[in-house]
Structure 1
């Protein structure tokens, strides 16, 4: 479990712990975290993406609740499309086709009673499938959108950015004694090779970036910016052409 300011509000806002009469009295907007089970270098846990998506989603739901807006958080979709990481033991990918079907059917079902649904994606490899699924649902007239999070200037995978976030949120899961640099070229330069040969050929330890310089304090600052941006997006609920909640320029956070 990831640490946060959550207490009783977090338990109350979890859709999985709710009872149907309470849900049915005021059909809410529902948030669904999406993650992955994939290698994150020798020092971070396989569930890193899911842990971060859940932590940010839960925290923003608590803030909205404090402002009088109840937005339940559904149980996370912990598996994603992570085929590029399958050369590493521990990675479990369900692939794009299965993920697409899961998202579409989930959206169709939830929108029978919910005011709307927002997928909060924590794994970059899921993005094309999330966009496709949300586009299908919106074409069917269903109130569905998606968002994700990334830090401007952050490294791509298991580097300083994710390591700092987990050192803040779940320090007991981080093994800094095992941390080491990975492939440090810009992600735009690495992407063609990643797609053609997978992560392990590009980075034998699975890291795209360098965990050096990470800290819990940096993670705290990054997490605050991420949650603030997500809070603004869910307050505005302005949806772009790709079904994504539009990024408020004042938030200072990337994709």
Structure 2
């Protein structure tokens, strides 16, 4: 159920609100800037179908400073994202029992962790969960391309897909911390989109949703 389409009467005493948290950042020459937001929203929507609750409009701007060398990247940074999450959850918790933040961008983790720690200390029922699975590669590679072929195929420029830096994160992380993604990948891709398919994207999405559901069980949110 989409929160944006609800009325005040509909949402009074809501047991759960899921908030997708994404980004607006480069995803190579072939994927749209809102890739992380599309994925986070899809995961949140699928989870809501299993456990109930409202799916809020996404937080579409994230902390994406590592991508700032690429045009189109629009980042609000860690501090602003953290403050936004804190204020948003405080507001939502006046009428809902629990808030779950569904995160689609790794650069948001510091902000979300800090914000949730503060909110929990204040007594709010809130947690954040990642859109994560063992099948995921680093950025704009086969996994994200497959997901977008499944979720929004019209937005994928397959003819522009290029191989990027395929080294493991541990090897390239020091370089990225010093100079951003462009220091290791001139085209902004960390991975290889070759072989991406919508079928694989559907499988990855299902794995992400199952992972989130398992995580929520530990917080007392169960399937209907």
TM-score by length of 2: 0.95
Counterpart CA distance in 1 for 2:38 and 2:170 is: 26
Relative contact order, higher structure (CA 8 A, sep 6+):
2
Report whether the alignment pairs 1:221 with 2:203: yes
Say which SS state the counterpart of residue 18 (structure 2) adopts.
strand
Any idea what the Cα deviations from partners look like across 1:126-157, whole Å, max 9, x if unmatched?
00110000000001111111101222143100
Task: Detail structure 1 runs of 4+ shifted over 4 Å in the superposition.
Answer: none
Matches within 5 A, 1:84-103: 84-103=66-85
Displacement of 1:237 in angstroms is 2.0
Partner residue of 1:47? 34
Output the CA distance in 1 between the equivalents of 2:92 and 2:136.
Answer: 34
Q: Does 1:234 pair with 2:222?
A: no
What is the alpha-carbon distance in structure 1 between the residues aligned to residue 217 and residue 117 of structure 2? 21
Counterpart for residue 154 of structure 1: 136
Match of 1:77 among 59, 62, 87: 59
2:7 corresponds to 1:19: yes
Report how many residues are paired.
221
Q: Say whether 1:134 aligns with 2:113.
A: no
Query: Structure 1: how far apart are the matches of 2:70 and 2:178?
Result: 16
For 1:119, what is the secondary structure of its paired residue?
A: strand
| Residue equivalent to 2:156 | 174
Report the CA distance between 1:63 and its aligned residue: 2.4
Once the two structures are superposed, residues 159-180 of structure 1 have per-residue CA deviations (whole angstroms, 9 ceiling, x without a partner) of 0110011111111111111001
Unaligned runs of 5+ in 1: 1-12, 65-69, 240-255
1:125 paired residue among 99, 107, 118:
107
Give SS of 1:147's match: strand
Where does residue 252 of structure 1 map in the other structure?
A: none
Give the RMSD, CA atoms, in angstroms. Answer: 1.3
| Correspondent of 1:197 among 159, 174, 179 | 179
- Matched residues in 2 for 1:94 and 1:71: separation? 28
1:102: Cα distance to partner? 0.2
Unaligned runs of 5+ in 2: none
SS of 1:219's equivalent?
Answer: helix
Q: Deviations over 1:42-96 (max 9, x none)?
A: 00000000000001111111222xxxxx310111100000001010000000011
Instruction: Give the Cα–Cα distance (whole angstroms) in 2 for the partners of residues 88 and 104 of structure 1.
Output: 29
**Aligned partners of 1:173 and 1:116: how far apart in 2?**
33
